[in-house]
Amino acid sequence: MKSKGIVLIVAAVVIALVYFSAYIVDETEQVVVTQFGRVVGEPKQDSGLYFMIPFIQYPNRFPKNLQEWDGDPGQIPTLDKTYIWVDTFARWKIVDPVKFFQTVNNTISAQGRLDDIIDPAVRNLITENRLIEAVRQTNRSMDTFEHGVEDAKDQKSFQITIGREEITKRILKQAQPKLSKFGIEVVDVKIKRINYVEQVRNSVYGRMIAERRQIAEKFRSEGQGEARKILGDKEKELKQITSEAYRKAQTIKGKADAESTELYAEAYGIDPDFYSFIKTLEIYGEALGKDSSLVISTDSEFFKYLKGYAP
């Protein structure tokens, strides 16, 4: 019975030793084993089950996958003396866990090192180049400019020589050698956002509004000119149609008057006295109304038909 208890105790001790000596390395991490603060053996970078001396050795775990660095936005002057806010980010990883452990020891300290190295590199590259270099990537035609509004000189000022992508590559190239001694590799650096400072922003917005108004006024004046041209053509065509219609109407009327005069002449030429009598009666009807009073001489030519037919 006593021997059975001893066996159980020994088994428990063995199980405890195995439990505390074994450790698992995940796919997303790497382990550096230390003994009394000193690194022993090679870093464990492959996933699996590993063993160590319990209570003496300790596994220090570090991430193996990509890590994020997000820089604080800062106010930086460009080569053309324009102050802008620049916000950058980077992706980095631990490539030498032993160096990393011996220098920065943890990811929080590593973030501070990245701040101290990447931020100055960003400032240097932005300061050394014009604003357009940090904004544009190619020399394609500017979509925001209208033909005929900006001159060729203005267009040339928007031509880049290196571009935004090259700037980020140079930031990476400048920062990487300083981070290698910490066992860190910067995989990529990108500019997340660029914006003018508030004072410059208001000025830029004012210039944009003025340019848009200039373009709108240009289109408006062209439209008014085109409208006047259309109205002028319409008035011209209308006058041509009216004058042609008037000419034709007068021609037809003249022919009709000539034919009617000819018919009247032929009709009244048969009996001139009868024509004279009819015309005089028409004049009587027009000149004398119901309440009209007329005083004329009996010798008047106008009175001759009244005198001849008076009762």
Give 23's strand partners: 50
The CA–CA distances, whole Å, from 164 to 186, 189, 191, 301 equal 18, 11, 8, 112
Q: Residue 176, Cβ neighbours under 10 Å: how many?
A: 18
Q: How many residues does the chain have?
A: 311
Q: What is the pTM of this model?
A: 0.61
Per-residue model confidence as pLDDT tens digits over 84-125: 889 999 999 999 999 999 999 899 999 999 999 999 999 999
Give the side-chain half-sphere CA count within 13 A for 197.
Answer: 11
The tens-digit pLDDT sequence of the chain (311 residues) is 567 777 677 677 667 677 678 888 999 999 999 998 899 989 998 888 888 888 888 999 999 999 999 988 888 999 988 888 899 999 999 999 999 999 998 999 999 999 999 999 999 999 999 988 888 888 877 655 444 444 444 556 678 888 889 999 999 999 999 999 999 999 999 998 888 877 777 777 788 888 888 888 989 999 999 999 999 889 889 989 988 898 898 889 888 888 887 777 777 677 676 777 777 777 766 666 666 666 666 666 666 665 554 44
Residue 108 CA to residue 67 CA, distance in Å, equals 11
* Cα Dmax for the chain: 183
Residue 149 CA to residue 210 CA, distance in Å, equals 12
Residue 215 φ/ψ region, left for φ over 0, alpha for ψ in the -120 to 50 degree band, beta for the rest? alpha
Q: What angle do CA 70, 74, 78 make, to 5 degrees?
A: 120
**Torsion angle (degrees, nearest 10) of CA 180, 184, 185, 189:** -110
Kindly list the structural domains of the chain, giving each domain's residue range(s) and its CATH number in brackets, ordered by start: 2-63 (no CATH), 67-196 (3.30.479.30), 271-309 (no CATH)
